């Protein structure tokens, strides 16, 4: 009897809990029809028709209606997400970035604190004092004194690297001494005519051009004995047109009764990457016994991909006409040189609609300075003059310590792309913040203007909608600014191998905001693979090392870029000069940026100071660094913690 | 409709309980159960519900015809017709596409594809209707005179769409009337809550791990084995969870279904595994195929081959399922001839240890065959390191570390630790404490499952395909 009472009581209890929930669910007095947080209409009770009944949509609609309007749905969804964290331990491939917009000194948004307060000046004085002490010896790290002679201006000269993908820039380096200049010939058209007549005989290729008259007869090689002073000739460039060259080639045997022969042949490029509609000039460098220069023959394997014609100023014009690969073959006597022309369509990308700047729309502000606008969640920046000063001084200290060029790449965050004046009025102006940060930097630091190119391209998919990071496309424009600022020619975006790494991606904001609207936003991850082979060795937090065949890898979402945040990563690019080494000090915004450095540097060393206690200076002082670059998002660059970590990484303790 | 659905839990079930327990009359109660069961089925198959009713009507008729005569050859004729019509329906809806595809591939012909969508649960209810006719034919059960009772047997919603496959003779008496005590209802509820938690808390979480492991583009040896292990766990918790819910629901209405799972993952041989995994299917094939073929008495190897070919085929119209069935057929023969005898000759502890390791390995590998209906060879190759990029990498390890507690919990609950402990303390605990404890577990489990269901609205049952 007693047991039965217990049974009944327990059953009633369960019945009360779940039956109560069920009843409340059914009769909810004011059942929501619109979700406040999701800003969408909730599924309504479907209409009962014969077709909705037979195709199952009626019943499916009822189920959706019930689950959409479940009591306290939003809270339960949040709870469910919290439960996800019980599944294991976070390996933290991605570091805890401060996308939470800290308001460092407790002031209001930067828009309001444009002026410098007396406190700021006091702080600045204090910072100066700290760094003065560091710069002028005192309790410095070992080996610092020797470096002191190097003034901050002692920045290495811009490298003369001729970037392989660069097209027009080569003229500068073409100023060789032994070039023979001959007057330009009649015109290109004639050259092309000749090309057509010569083609069948010399090369079966569909499109062939010859820059000159028939090649010297084969038997001439035998008699080519003592020829004075073989000239290094820019065939086609300086001898230029066919007419002239043909004349000389034809006349020479008569002149001296001597025949000439080629000694070597080289092309200015072995590979060309072009996008449809663009063009470039290709040069052949031939060495010949002919003192007047040599004549070369050009053949093209596919004129649907690229066309060639003689450039009146020398070389040949290569025009990209359609996607594919064509082989340009240059021959002289027995020498043959080839250039592969890869033509791609214009830069690919996922569909992206830039934010709607309708003035009737408004942003919905969440805690931590985040806000939702349209179909994306945005982060914004707060300026802290004090902390920005620490950051600037830290970079300057690195410049002095390492004696190499130091650049800072400060990544703007997503709010910069919004043009709607209503929203703009409420969020900080990052262009303004970055300008102020630049003003704080002294001449020894190359403060890269990331804002201008990103702002110019703000209609593109620069920032994730559900993640606080920039996309790799966003990082690209910062890379172009960086490359130009250090005298490198950025590789055009369309030259990279493009892949949609992940069709559907939900980023950090999804979990962080725990807001069902954000959970309904969608992202894709675009990846632009380096044009050069590279290998990546990363050391994880447990000190284990891992080898990868590319710095863009397989992990999901944003973690595909250099595998997320790890203490120490080295990327080697065998095709680049091995004495061009760059140290990257970064937060996770750097991850999407680093792959672009494979275009120029032989070794890229990436250090995430959050995850390592190593002394960067001790480890790398003899490495032969040519560059150091700091890459932080604007908020990290405005937080003292980062400066402190950077200084700690070279053995200096900030107060 | 599925059990792990908010509409089911918070609308359908409460309304059914209210209607069922207000009414006291057995006939009306049957009516309520049939009406709700048909609604339950119609929720997912608003048209095919009539197919099911039609099939029950046909088998009702065949049952009556078999019962109407004592002439053996006539009885046999009706039985044959009944089985042909049941298997015909199953074959048409489930295997036609597969058969055409195979014929086209083998004979290089191009028979046009027929687009039939498979009604949910057809593999289960056609087996139940066949069980009725066969039991009547064998005189293991009486002819059912009431169409509604037969309809209730087949359509009763707890076991309708994903088993267990209830044999008619096991449940015949319960179709008339049943009584449920409050204590039994509580036990049923407890069983249901356990099953719901298995499904919503463990199986669904395993599914996300699997998809993230297989999403890695650099294939690693570890990720593939981990994927196979998680799939084994998912399948176990998904399917046994469903069976627990079905058994629990049945109990709440006074039905006693036989057990369907008995901790299969602790088996020490494939033979034992099949005594513990999806027992109702095994029993069905044993009673209606294996023994009639001769069982252990003659042609045992052929019988094993036939039964496990059919078992594989039953799981799905694809070659990997057939391969999976045959894989077990060969394992069972190997065990009967070699392994089990050898186990008897070595010390029991050693035999147990080796047996466990062997069985876990073959089970996980077997479910890898089961999982990949496309690219099977390539994917099995990965398990032997053929075509994998690395042994392990940081991404694999990060996924595993992110889910290590889930894995530990799943393994813990796949082993009968708690039941063993419970056996020991059960008699020393007063009934009141036991009931309160179980009630607390019910509230927590259903509550947590509700949170998960609201959190991820998408969680279909795996055994839907079968």
Of A323-327, B109-113, B196-200, which range is least confident? B109-113
A581-586 vs A627-633, strand pairing mode: parallel
At A599-635, the pLDDT tens digits run: 999 999 999 998 888 889 988 888 889 999 999 999 8
Mutate to test the interface with B, among A88, A536, A557 (most CBs of B within 10 A): A88
pLDDT at position A384, please?
A: 87
pLDDT at position A40, please?
A: 54
pLDDT at position A351, please?
A: 76
Question: Nearest CB to B7: which of A14, A62, A90?
Answer: A62
pLDDT at position B364, please?
A: 95
At A374-418, the pLDDT tens digits run: 889 998 888 888 889 999 999 999 999 999 999 999 999 999 999
Interface A-B: count of C-beta contacts within 8 A: 154
pLDDT at position B105, please?
A: 84
Q: Do B398 and A91 touch (CB under 8 A)?
A: yes
Q: How many CA atoms lie within 13 A of A525 on its CB side?
A: 21
Q: Do B10 and A70 touch (CB under 8 A)?
A: yes
> Which two structure tokens, joined as six digits, stand for A211?
């820059």
Q: How far is residue B349's CA from residue B343's CA, in Å, rounded to a whole number?
A: 10
Q: How far is residue A34's CA from residue B425's CA, in Å, rounded to a whole number?
A: 52
Higher-confidence residue: A431 or A654?
A: A431
| Alpha-carbon distance A611 to nearest alpha carbon in chain B (angstroms) | 16
pLDDT at position A137, please?
A: 55
Exposed/middle/buried for residue A495 (C-beta within 10 Å: 0-12, 13-18, 19+)? buried
| Alpha-carbon distance A610 to nearest alpha carbon in chain B (angstroms) | 18
Question: Nearest CB to A10: which of B9, B186, B395?
Answer: B186
Higher-confidence residue: A590 or A45?
A: A590
Residue A15 has pLDDT above 80, yes or no: yes
Confidence of residue B190 (pLDDT cuts 50, 70, 90): very high
Instruction: Give yes or no: B278 in active site.
Output: no
Which residues of A fall within a CB distance of 8 Å from B186? 7, 10-11
Contact present, A551 and A562 (Cβ < 8 Å): yes
pLDDT at position A431, please?
A: 92
- Whether A16 contacts chain B with CB within 8 A: no
Residue A121 has pLDDT above 60, yes or no: yes
* Cα Rg, chain B, nearest whole Å: 23
Residues B148-160 have a mean pLDDT of 91
Please provide the distance, in angstroms rounded to a whole number, between the alpha carbons at the two ends of chain A: 74
Q: How far is residue B47's CA from residue A58's CA, in Å, rounded to a whole number?
A: 13
Q: How far is residue A558's CA from residue A508's CA, in Å, rounded to a whole number?
A: 10
Q: How far is residue A119's CA from residue B266's CA, in Å, rounded to a whole number?
A: 70
Question: Nearest CB to A88: which of B5, B47, B406?
Answer: B406
Q: Do B216 and A87 touch (CB under 8 A)?
A: no
Contact present, B138 and B255 (Cβ < 8 Å): no
Residue B263 has pLDDT above 80, yes or no: yes
Residue A56 has pLDDT above 50, yes or no: yes
Q: How far is residue A589's CA from residue A95's CA, in Å, rounded to a whole number?
A: 11
Q: What are phi and psi of A529, to 5 degrees?
A: -80, 140
Element holding B295 (H helix, E strand): none
Residue B355 has pLDDT above 70, yes or no: yes
Interface of A with B in 39-68 (CB under 8 A): 53-56, 58-59, 62-63, 66-67
Confidence of residue B316 (pLDDT cuts 50, 70, 90): confident
Shortest CA distance to A600 belongs to which of A523, A485, A489? Answer: A489
Which residues of B fall within a CB distance of 8 Å from A77? 454-455
pLDDT at position B465, please?
A: 41
Confidence of residue B89 (pLDDT cuts 50, 70, 90): very high
pLDDT at position A178, please?
A: 32
pTM equals: 0.62
Question: Nearest CB to B44: which of A17, A56, A77?
Answer: A56
Higher-confidence residue: A167 or A399?
A: A399
| Alpha-carbon distance A589 to nearest alpha carbon in chain B (angstroms) | 19
Contact present, A339 and A271 (Cβ < 8 Å): yes
Which residues of A fall within a CB distance of 8 Å from B11? 22, 25-26, 66
Residues B190-214 have a mean pLDDT of 91
Interface of A with B in 285-314 (CB under 8 A): none
| Alpha-carbon distance A457 to nearest alpha carbon in chain B (angstroms) | 31
pLDDT at position B102, please?
A: 86
Q: What are phi and psi of B192, to 5 degrees?
A: -65, -45
Sequence-distant (6+) residues with CB within 8 A of B220 are B388, B389, B390, B391, B392, B393, B396
Confidence of residue A454 (pLDDT cuts 50, 70, 90): very high
Confidence of residue A481 (pLDDT cuts 50, 70, 90): very high
Which residue has tokens 């089970």?
A: B363
pLDDT at position B48, please?
A: 86
Residue B358 has pLDDT above 90, yes or no: yes
Residue A68 has pLDDT above 90, yes or no: no
| Alpha-carbon distance B245 to nearest alpha carbon in chain A (angstroms) | 17
Exposed/middle/buried for residue A361 (C-beta within 10 Å: 0-12, 13-18, 19+)? middle
Long-range Cβ contact pairs of A15-21 (< 8 A, separation 24 or more): A17/B443, A17/B447, A18/B9, A18/B10, A18/B14, A18/B446, A19/B14, A21/A71, A21/B10, A21/B450
Helix (H/G/I), strand (E/B), else coil: A286: strand
pLDDT at position A233, please?
A: 35
Which residues of B fall within a CB distance of 8 Å from A67? 5-7, 453-454, 457
Which residue has tokens 């920032």?
A: A463
Mean pLDDT score of chain A: 74
Element holding A285 (H helix, E strand): strand A284-288
Residue of B nearest to A78 (CA): B455
- Whether A21 contacts chain B with CB within 8 A: yes
Residue A180 has pLDDT above 80, yes or no: no
Q: How many CA atoms lie within 13 A of A454 on its CB side?
A: 30
Q: How far is residue B19's CA from residue B13's CA, in Å, rounded to a whole number?
A: 10
Cα B96 to Cα A8, A205, A470, B105, B134, distances in angstroms: 52, 55, 51, 14, 25
Alpha helices in A352-411, H assignment, sequence order:
385-402
Confidence of residue A119 (pLDDT cuts 50, 70, 90): low
Set B278, B298, B315, B356: catalytic member: B315
Q: Do A88 and B405 touch (CB under 8 A)?
A: yes
pLDDT at position B227, please?
A: 92
Which residues of A fall within a CB distance of 8 Å from B206? none
Confidence of residue B44 (pLDDT cuts 50, 70, 90): confident
pLDDT at position A35, please?
A: 59
At A101-116, the pLDDT tens digits run: 333 333 333 334 444 5
A627-633 vs A405-411, strand pairing mode: parallel
pLDDT above 90 covers a percentage of chain A that reads 24
Helix (H/G/I), strand (E/B), else coil: B218: coil
Confidence of residue A34 (pLDDT cuts 50, 70, 90): low
pLDDT at position B322, please?
A: 93
pLDDT at position A117, please?
A: 61
Mutate to test the interface with A, among B398, B410, B411 (most CBs of A within 10 A): B398
Q: How far is residue A630's CA from residue A447's CA, in Å, rounded to a whole number?
A: 10
Question: Nearest CB to B398: which of A3, A86, A93?
Answer: A93
pLDDT above 90 covers a percentage of chain B that reads 51
């Amino acid at each position: 009897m007693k047991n039965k009472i217990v049974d009944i009581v327990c059953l009633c209890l369960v019945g009360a809990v779940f039956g109560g929930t069920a009843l409340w669910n059914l009769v909810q007095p004011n059942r929501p029809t619109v979700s406040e947080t999701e800003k969408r209409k909730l599924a309504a009770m479907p209409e009962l028709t014969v077709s909705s009944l037979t195709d199952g949509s009626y019943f499916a609609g009822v189920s959706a209606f019930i689950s959409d309007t479940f009591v306290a749905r939003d809270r339960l969804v949040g709870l469910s997400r919290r439960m996800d964290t019980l599944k294991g331990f976070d390996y933290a491939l991605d570091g805890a970035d401060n996308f939470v917009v800290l308001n460092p000194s407790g002031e209001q948004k930067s828009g309001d604190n444009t002026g410098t307060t007396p406190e700021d000046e006091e702080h600045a004085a204090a910072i100066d004092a700290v760094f003065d002490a560091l710069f002028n010896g005192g309790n410095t790290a070992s080996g610092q004194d020797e470096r002191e002679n190097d003034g901050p201006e002692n920045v290495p000269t811009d490298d003369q690297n001729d970037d392989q993908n660069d097209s027009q820039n080569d003229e500068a380096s073409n100023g060789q001494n032994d070039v023979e200049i001959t007057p330009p010939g009649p015109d290109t058209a004639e050259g092309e005519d000749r090309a057509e007549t010569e083609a069948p005989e010399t090369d079966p290729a569909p499109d062939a051009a010859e820059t000159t008259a028939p090649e010297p007869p084969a038997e001439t090689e035998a008699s080519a004995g003592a020829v004075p002073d073989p000239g290094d000739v820019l065939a086609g460039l300086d001898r230029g047109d066919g007419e002239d060259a043909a004349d000389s080639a034809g006349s020479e045997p008569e002149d001296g009764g001597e025949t000439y022969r080629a000694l070597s042949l080289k092309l200015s490029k072995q590979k060309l990457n072009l996008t449809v509609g663009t063009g470039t000039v290709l040069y052949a460098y031939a060495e010949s016994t002919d003192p007047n220069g040599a004549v070369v023959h050009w053949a093209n394997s596919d004129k649907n991909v690229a066309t060639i014609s003689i450039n009146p100023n020398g070389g040949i014009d290569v025009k990209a006409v359609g996607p594919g690969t064509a082989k340009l073959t240059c021959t002289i006597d027995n020498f043959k040189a080839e250039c592969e022309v890869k033509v791609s369509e214009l830069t690919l990308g996922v569909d992206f609609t830039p934010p709607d700047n309708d003035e009737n729309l408004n942003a919905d502000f969440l805690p931590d300075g985040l806000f939702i606008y349209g179909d994306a969640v945005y982060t914004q920046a707060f300026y802290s003059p004090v902390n920005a000063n620490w950051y600037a001084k830290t970079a300057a200290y690195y410049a002095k310590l390492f004696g190499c060029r130091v650049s800072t790449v400060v990544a703007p965050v997503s709010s910069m792309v919004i043009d709607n004046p209503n929203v703009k009025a409420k969020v900080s102006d990052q262009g303004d913040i970055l300008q102020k940060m630049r003003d704080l930097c002294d001449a020894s630091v190359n403060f890269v203007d990331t804002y201008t190119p990103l702002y110019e391209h703000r209609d593109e998919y620069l920032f994730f909608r559900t993640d606080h990071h920039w996309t790799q496309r966003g990082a690209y424009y910062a890379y172009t600014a960086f490359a130009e600022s250090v005298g490198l020619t950025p590789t055009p975006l369309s030259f990279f191998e493009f892949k949609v790494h992940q069709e559907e991606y939900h980023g950090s904001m999804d979990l962080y905001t725990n807001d069902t609207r954000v959970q309904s936003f969608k992202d894709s991850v675009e990846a632009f693979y380096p044009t050069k082979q590279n290998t990546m060795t990363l050391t994880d937090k447990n000190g284990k090392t891992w080898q990868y065949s590319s710095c863009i890898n397989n992990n999901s979402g944003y973690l595909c870029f250099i595998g997320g945040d790890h203490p120490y990563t080295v990327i080697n690019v065998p095709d680049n000069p091995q004495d061009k080494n760059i140290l990257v000090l970064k937060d996770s915004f750097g991850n999407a940026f680093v792959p672009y450095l494979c275009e120029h540097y032989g070794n890229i060393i990436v250090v995430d100071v959050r995850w390592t206690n190593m002394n960067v200076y001790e480890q790398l002082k003899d490495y032969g660094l040519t560059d150091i670059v700091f890459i932080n998002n604007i908020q990290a660059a405005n937080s003292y913690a980062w400066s402190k970590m950077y200084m700690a990484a070279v053995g200096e303790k900030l107060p | 409709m599925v059990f792990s659905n908010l509409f089911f839990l918070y609308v359908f079930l409460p309304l059914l309980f209210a209607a069922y327990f207000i009414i006291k009359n057995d006939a009306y109660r049957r009516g309520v159960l049939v009406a709700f069961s048909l609604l339950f089925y119609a929720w997912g198959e608003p048209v095919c519900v009539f197919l099911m009713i039609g099939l029950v009507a046909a088998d009702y008729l065949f049952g009556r015809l078999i019962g109407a005569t004592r002439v053996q050859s006539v009885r046999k004729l009706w039985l044959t017709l009944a089985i042909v019509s049941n298997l015909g329906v199953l074959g048409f809806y489930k295997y036609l596409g597969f058969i055409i595809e195979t014929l086209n591939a083998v004979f290089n012909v191009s028979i046009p594809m027929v687009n039939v969508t498979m009604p949910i649960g057809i593999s289960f209810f056609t087996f139940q209707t066949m069980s009725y006719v066969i039991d009547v034919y064998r005189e293991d059960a009486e002819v059912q005179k009431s169409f509604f009772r037969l309809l209730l047997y087949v359509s009763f919603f707890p076991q309708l769409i994903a088993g267990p496959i209830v044999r008619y003779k096991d449940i015949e008496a319960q179709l008339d009337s049943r009584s449920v005590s409050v204590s039994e209802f509580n036990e049923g509820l407890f069983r249901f809550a356990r099953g719901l938690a298995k499904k919503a808390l463990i199986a669904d979480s395993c599914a996300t791990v699997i998809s993230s492991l297989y999403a890695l583009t650099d294939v690693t040896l570890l990720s593939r084995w981990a994927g196979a292990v998680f799939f084994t766990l998912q399948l176990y918790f998904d399917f046994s969870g469903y069976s627990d819910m079905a058994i629990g629901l049945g109990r709440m209405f006074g039905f006693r279904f036989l057990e369907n799972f008995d901790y299969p993952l602790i088996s020490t041989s494939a033979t034992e595994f099949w005594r513990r995994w999806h027992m109702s299917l095994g029993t069905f094939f044993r009673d209606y195929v294996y023994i009639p073929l001769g069982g252990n008495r003659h042609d045992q190897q052929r019988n094993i081959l036939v039964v496990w070919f059919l078992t594989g085929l039953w799981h799905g119209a694809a070659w990997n399922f057939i391969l999976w069935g045959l894989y077990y057929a060969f394992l069972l023969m190997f065990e009967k001839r070699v392994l089990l005898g050898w186990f008897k000759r070595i010390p029991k502890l050693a035999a147990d240890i080796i047996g466990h390791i062997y069985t876990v390995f073959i089970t996980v590998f077997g479910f890898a065959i089961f999982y990949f209906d496309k690219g099977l060879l390539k994917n099995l190759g990965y398990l032997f390191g053929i075509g994998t990029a690395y042994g392990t990498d940081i991404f694999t390890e990060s996924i595993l570390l992110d889910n290590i507690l889930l894995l530990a919990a799943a393994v813990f609950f796949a082993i009968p630790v708690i039941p063993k402990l419970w056996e020991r303390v059960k008699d020393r605990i007063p009934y009141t404490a036991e009931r309160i404890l179980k009630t607390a577990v019910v509230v927590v489990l259903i509550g947590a499952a509700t949170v998960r269901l609201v959190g991820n609205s998408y969680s279909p049952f795996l055994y839907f395909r079968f």
